[in-house]
Structure 1
C-alpha cells in the first residue's frame, strides 16, 4: 500500500487491535481477581462485558477483510493484516475464557480446595498475554520469541497444579464424613481442574499472538502451529 491513506489504514488497524487487546487484558484481570477474592460483582462485569468484545471482534474482522481487498499491497502489509486477523481471533477466545473463569468464581461458594497455586498461574498467563500484545504493538520479534519460550513453563505449572488438586481430593476423600462431603469435593475439584485448563488455554492463545507477530515481522512461520 504505497499511498498515505493506505498506510494510515494499517496504522488504524494496529491501534484498534491494540485497543481490543487492552480490553481483553482488563477482562482477564477482573476474572482472575474475582477468582482470588470471590467478588461476584467483578465476575458479573466480565460476563456482561463479553458481548462488547464479540462486537469489537466482528468490527475488526470486517476491517481486515476491507484491507485485504485493497490493491497493490506489499507482502509485509499482507503479513501484518493476516497476523492482525488471527490475533483478534485469539483475543476473542481469551475473552471467552475470562468469562469461563468468572463463571467458575460464581460457582465457588463452598470451596474446599485451595486455589493459591491457580492464582499464581493465572497471573503468569496474564503476563504472557500482555507481553505478546506489547510485541505486536512494537513489532518486536525478540519479545515474541520470549513469550513462545515461556509456554513450556506454564504448561508444566498447570500439570503440577492439576496433579496436586487430584492428590488432595484422594486424601480428603479418605478423611470425609459422608457422601455429601465427597460430592462437594468432586464438584470443587472439577471446577479447579477446569480453571487450570482454561488458564493454560489463555497461555496458548498468548503464544499464538506471539507466533503471529514473529511471522509478521520476520516472515518466518516457525512458531506457528
Structure 2
C-alpha cells in the first residue's frame, strides 16, 4: 500500500475516534441533564442510543485490527493504533455508564439530596473527558497530567457527596411504613450508584489520558 494511503488511514482513525468521543460526551451530558431535570424522555434517548455507540466501537475496533494485521506498524504508529484501541474501549464503557445514569433517571426520585450537586460532579467528568481527548488529538502530554490531577479532585467531591448521603440518612426522620422505607432506600441506593458511576467515568478519562501519554512519549507512568 502506498505510504500516503497508509498515513491517510491513520489520520482517519484518529478522526473517527474523536467523532466517537464527541458522541459519548453528548450522551453523557444528556444523561446528567436528565438526572437534574427528571426528564424521562431525555434519559430514554440516552438508553436507546447506546446501540449506536456500540456499533461505532465495533467499526473502530475493525479499523485498528485491520491496520495492525495488514500494515504491521512499528514504533510510534503501533503505539498510536494500540492507544486508539484502548481509548475506544474506555469510551464505550463511559457510554455504558451514561446509560446507567439514564436508567437511574427513569427509575425514581433523583433529587433526594438537594445539598449534593450532581451537575457539578458531572461537569468535572465532562471536562476531564474533553481534556483527555484533546491530549489524544493534539499529542499534548501536559493535558494528560492535568486529567490525572483532576481525578483526585473528583474523587474527593464524590467522597464528600457519599458521606453527605450517609449523614442525612442517619439524621432523617423515621418513616410511617415499611413500604415507604423500602421505596426511599431504593432511591438512596440509586443515588449512591449515580455518584459511583460518575466517579468511574472520571477513572476512564484518566485511562484515556494515560494511553495518550503512552502514545505520545512511550511513557507508561500513568497507566500504572
Q: TM-score under structure 1 normalisation?
A: 0.94
Moved more, 108-117 or 79-88: 108-117
How far the C-alpha of 1:110 sits from its partner, in A, is 7.5
Inter-partner Cα distance in structure 1 for 2:108 and 2:205: 26
Counterparts of residues 21-36 of structure 1 (less than 5 Å): 21-36=21-36
**CA contact 1:83–1:212 (8 Å) conserved in 2:** yes
Q: Which position in structure 2 is the counterpart of 1:43? A: 43
**CA contact 2:90–2:207 (8 Å) conserved in 1:** yes
Stretches of structure 1 that go unaligned for 5 or more consecutive residues are: none
Counterparts of residues 17-166 of structure 1 (less than 5 Å): 17-71=17-71, 73-109=73-109, 111-114=111-114, 116-166=116-166
Q: Which position in structure 1 is the counterpart of 2:185? A: 186
Moved more, 87-96 or 112-121: 112-121
RMSD: 1.7
Moved more, 81-90 or 105-114: 105-114
Inter-partner Cα distance in structure 2 for 1:167 and 1:176: 17
How far the C-alpha of 1:177 sits from its partner, in A, is 3.4
What is the CA deviation profile of residues 159-216 of structure 1, one whole-angstrom value per residue up to 9, with x for unaligned ones?
A: 11111011111111x4433433322321121011000000000000000000000010
Inter-partner Cα distance in structure 2 for 1:129 and 1:27: 13
| 1:195 and 2:194 are equivalent in the alignment | yes
Inter-partner Cα distance in structure 1 for 2:168 and 2:176: 16
Moved more, 11-20 or 131-140: 131-140
**CA contact 1:32–1:119 (8 Å) conserved in 2:** yes
What is the CA deviation profile of residues 39-93 of structure 1, one whole-angstrom value per residue up to 9, with x for unaligned ones?
A: 1111010000000000000000000000111345230000000000000000000
Stretches of structure 2 that go unaligned for 5 or more consecutive residues are: none
Q: Secondary structure at the match of 1:176?
A: coil
Q: Label 1:2 to 1:181 Cα distance change in 2 as closer, same or farther (>3 A).
A: same
**CA contact 1:83–1:213 (8 Å) conserved in 2:** yes
